Amino acid sequence: MDVYTPQERSRVMAAVPSADTGPELRVRRLLHRLGYRFRLHRRDLPGRPDIVLPKWRTVLFVHGCFWHQHAGCPRAARPTSNVAFWDRKLDRNVRRDQENRRSLEEAGWRVLVIWECQADEATAERTLREFFDRWGEPGASATGAAASGR
Ligand code: ZN
């Protein structure tokens, strides 16, 4: 049961390639289990991040390896037909991601990308723990984490 015509569907998929996909749901469940509070798809932020953790001043993207061109990843291999079309499209995605990251960082956000191929529960949990360990445990205030880091 698809509410979209194929044409609309492809437009929607192009606009929000990672919305509500399996890997993103998995990361959301994981964050919830680890005790992180988050918001979804803040439209007012560059790149409309998949997950926003306001308390940690962090935005999290769950990126598809192909659409966002995960460097060195087999899933990011470019199609061998329509090469010019795909190069143009994928290069544009990569450029847009870079611009969004720069805008977010300039606005004081930290940006974490979880790649689709690393979004299995164990790997994603390790990535999140390593990222947030620098800030202390959830529940600790930023100042508390800074104080305990002395
Ligand atoms: Zn990948």
Domain residue limits, the chain: 15-43+55-134
Q: Which fold has domain 15-43+55-134?
A: Endonuclease; Chain A (3.40.960)
Say how many CA atoms lie within 13 Å of 114 toward its Cβ: 33
The answer to whether 29 and 43 have CB atoms below 8 angstroms apart is: no
- What is the chain's pLDDT, residue by residue, as a tens digit (150 residues)? 455 566 655 555 555 554 556 899 999 999 999 999 898 877 889 999 999 999 899 999 999 999 999 999 999 999 999 999 999 999 999 999 999 999 999 999 999 999 999 999 999 999 999 998 876 555 444 444 444 333
The predicted structure's pLDDT at residue 42: 79
d(CA 126, CA 114): 11
Give residue 78 CA to ligand 1 midpoint distance, Å. Answer: 13
Coil, strand or helix at 14: helix
Q: Are strands 39-40 and 51-53 parallel, antiparallel or unpaired?
A: antiparallel
The predicted structure's pLDDT at residue 148: 39
Give residue 118 CA to ligand 1 midpoint distance, Å. Answer: 7
The predicted structure's pLDDT at residue 143: 46
pTM of the full predicted structure? Answer: 0.74
d(CA 76, CA 66): 4
The predicted structure's pLDDT at residue 43: 81
Give residue 113 CA to ligand 1 midpoint distance, Å. Answer: 11
Give residue 145 CA to ligand 1 midpoint distance, Å. Answer: 32
The rounded radius of gyration (Å) of the Cα atoms in the chain is 17
The answer to whether 46 and 104 have CB atoms below 8 angstroms apart is: yes
Coil, strand or helix at 113: strand
Give residue 138 CA to ligand 1 midpoint distance, Å. Answer: 28
